[in-house]
Amino acid sequence: MKNSPLQIGLVQINNSFSGQNYLPYSVACLQSYVEEHAQCADRLEFLDPVYKRQPISDIVDHLQQADLVGFSTYVWNANISLEVARRLKAKNPALFIVFGGPQVPDCSEAFLRENAFIDLAVHNEGETQFTALLDSLAQGELATGLALLLGASYIDADGVYMRAQDAPKIRDLAAIPSPFLNGMFDALVEKNPEESWIGLWETNRGCPFQCTFCDWGSATASKLNKFEEERLLGEIQWFSDNHIDYIFCCDANFGILPRDIEIAKRVAEMKDKTGYPVALSVQNTKNATERAYEAQKILADAGLNKGVALSMQSLDETTLKAIKRENIALETYFELQRRFTSDKIETYSDLILGLPGETYDSFIKGVDGLINSGQHNRIQFNNLSILPNAEMGEAAYQEAHGMETVRSEIINIHGSKLELQDDVAEWQDLVIATHTTPKDDWRKVRAFCWMAGFLHFDKIMQYPLIIAHELAGVSYSLIFERFMEQATEGDAYPLVSEIARFFDVEAARIQAGGTEYVYSEEWLGVYWPADEYMYIKLTAEEKFEEFYDQAGRLLVSIIQENALQKNADLGAVLAEAIRVNKAMVSQPFVKDDIELALKFNILDYCDAIKVGKNIPLKAEDNFLTVERSQRVYADFNKWCQEVVWWGNKKGAYLYNRKINNVELAGHY
């Protein structure tokens, strides 16, 4: 038994975000629990945690004197964690290496045999197992301790795979000391004064839902366990005292508990009093309409969120059954959307491409359904990736649904290239086809989504699209499809064709294993969604005049071929809607307001549609002032960042304006 203190290293590598780094909450909970409950606590010495991506050699140098190193792993840090562990073991074969976190497979034999440098894999919650392991190590009884350890797996000395039954969940979360309140994060913040921190925060653990694409429910089990309210209030105070701008709440269903309303109120009160935190991101609960509404409205009124997420994932009944979400009422989301929209609180809806059971037709029908229900701000179209501990990660599930995957490098939306000489890439398994959405259809869906985003949710053509839908009865999805068809059509609309081909090529590139986003070294050096990239490109090349000419003519032809109803004023109204939309889309380098004389109440009419109201379209003189002088961008990249990037969730791409000298916000 070693007489000197055991050196313990902890690694939770998170991606940096706009120069900010996440506090390593998972490993801090491990350390806090050990220091409170371990019999050998006085014989342990914890090294400073590794919390961000940096050269692997630097991480290895920091950890190489440790006796045991524990890694908290997920999709964004799995490969770098494995490489660090491999190099550490090569330098010091006696070092004991532990892997935990959602990226460790529940059935881990293949994982452990492929990565023989890992001594132990811990499944689900790790606090009690990690503590028992350290006690065994400190007492020189490691072999006995491993044999008795629940919720863990390893390859024994004879090469036999050992997997113990899962450990009981920690029902009394008060047993886990808060790393915010016990001084652990105080020390980390003090040692790293150059850092700007993002807080990770739990108010409860557990998820009652079992969505097959998600590992949340399987990792936390169905029963919900709560952290004490007094602790949470103290942590809110800590965030404020330490000027934490951004908090990501790790709860699976914020708003599921009645007390969540009070928690939201306390965070809002603290921001009003001190200015911190600036933002709080939460995952909305399901099937709890009133509490979800109240909690999110409190956050929105306090300016703590950038848009309320409504994570529908699919509107197709067959698909919802296949992914075990048929017990989550879609009407809950529609009701929340209606109420938030009426309150002028931005929402965005999540849909996932490539879910089992979904077809091309059912997907675009779902897009139509969302827009028709009032979602004019943003649909976030997410690609489906496989998580190892989700039900969808099982080979039998994938085979049953004909799921084809491709390995794709993980790149965050608006992420930058982290140029480290000593680094490894992280990878994900993207679904690029199923029985019901074969490869050709997947590409069509992906390109369709970008076109929908570009035309409608980036606000490039939103007003004329609303007019075409309301006055001519043409569906939004048909318009998006006809624009996409220009990828293979003739040269009548060459710029529209170029845009459509770009989306088609990008979809094929992803399907072949390319990154999900388009990199631009010139424009901030970040990865852009394809629709935003095209918005920037047209702006940089000064082609919006040409685009609106072609898009307007194409839209007229679509209406002529597919109109389900007639309106004598349609031509004049549509032309005016295009003229208004073109004037209102944010552009850099413009300084002067635009004044337009209008013949119809187009803006009032369209804005009423967007908030679920109906007013008559009337031929009446209006005077529109587009207030471009209020947001002047003399720097192109600053415009890219503040308008296109930061406006993503809110869809805030339009200037404010006045109608007959009455001030109105631009994005409603």
Beta strands in 53-187 (DSSP E): 68-72, 96-100, 120-122, 152-155, 161-163
Residue type, 4: S
Nearest Cα to Cα of residue 603 among 544, 545, 550, 666: 666
CA distance 555 to 558: 5
Q: What 3-state DSSP class applies to 193? A: coil
DSSP 2-21: -SSPEEEEEEEEE--BTTEE
Predicted confidence (pLDDT) per residue in 281-338, tens digit: 998 877 667 888 999 999 999 999 877 888 889 999 999 999 999 877 788 888 888 8
Residue 222 has pLDDT above 90, yes or no: no
> Are 474 and 558 contacting, i.e. CB atoms less than 8 angstroms apart?
yes
CA distance 70 to 80: 14
CA distance 184 to 198: 15
Residue type, 208: P
Q: What 3-state DSSP class applies to 528? A: strand
At residue 144, the pLDDT reads 84
Alpha helix (H) residue ranges in 258-401: 259-274, 289-301, 317-322, 330-342, 360-372, 395-400
Beta strands in 582-653 (DSSP E): 594-600, 619-626
Residue 565 has pLDDT above 90, yes or no: no
| Local confidence band at 114 (pLDDT 50, 70, 90 cut-offs) | very high
| Local confidence band at 667 (pLDDT 50, 70, 90 cut-offs) | very low
Angstrom distances, CA of residue 325 to CA of 212, 318, 319, 364, 506: 8, 10, 8, 19, 30
Element (H, E) at 144: helix 142-148
At residue 665, the pLDDT reads 58
Predicted confidence (pLDDT) per residue in 587-603, tens digit: 999 999 999 999 999 99
Orientation angle between helical segments 439-452 and 530-540, nearest 10 degrees? 50
Predicted confidence (pLDDT) per residue in 617-637, tens digit: 999 998 999 999 998 999 999
| Local confidence band at 2 (pLDDT 50, 70, 90 cut-offs) | low
Strands 279-281 and 246-249: parallel
Percent over 90 (pLDDT), the chain: 79
pTM for the structure as a whole: 0.92
Predicted confidence (pLDDT) per residue in 24-77, tens digit: 999 999 999 999 999 999 999 999 999 999 999 999 999 999 999 999 999 999
> Are 145 and 133 contacting, i.e. CB atoms less than 8 angstroms apart?
yes
Residue type, 124: N
Residue 447 has pLDDT above 90, yes or no: yes
Nearest Cα to Cα of residue 430 among 454, 404, 412, 456: 404
CA distance 651 to 273: 29
At residue 147, the pLDDT reads 87
Compute the C-alpha angle 235/239/245, nearest 5°. Answer: 150
At residue 664, the pLDDT reads 60
Nearest Cα to Cα of residue 106 among 391, 399, 403, 401: 391
CA gyration radius for the chain?
27
Nearest Cα to Cα of residue 252 among 216, 300, 291, 215: 216
Question: What is the rounded average pLDDT of the residues 468-478?
Answer: 97
Nearest Cα to Cα of residue 33 among 115, 129, 114: 129
At residue 336, the pLDDT reads 85
> Are 430 and 405 contacting, i.e. CB atoms less than 8 angstroms apart?
yes
Residue 658 has pLDDT above 80, yes or no: yes
Burial class (CB in 10 A: 0-12, 13-18, 19+), 148: exposed
Alpha helix (H) residue ranges in 202-314: 216-220, 229-241, 259-274, 289-301
Residue 661 has pLDDT above 70, yes or no: no
How many residues are given for the chain?
668
Report all structural domains of the chain as residue ranges with CATH numbers, in order of start: 6-163 (3.40.50.2300)
Task: Read off the tokens for 282.
Answer: 């939460």
Task: Read off the tokens for 492.
Answer: 């009548």
Q: Residue 22 — φ and ψ, nearest 5°?
A: -80, 135
How crowded is the C-beta side of 312, counted as CA atoms within 13 Å?
28
CA distance 243 to 274: 9
Residues 6+ apart with CB under 8 A from 224: 204, 205, 206, 207, 208, 256, 257
At residue 288, the pLDDT reads 63
CA distance 600 to 621: 6
Mean pLDDT over each residue of the chain, to the nearest integer: 93
> Are 67 and 29 contacting, i.e. CB atoms less than 8 angstroms apart?
no
Question: What is the rounded average pLDDT of the residues 642-650?
Answer: 86
Residue 407 has pLDDT above 80, yes or no: yes
Burial class (CB in 10 A: 0-12, 13-18, 19+), 33: buried
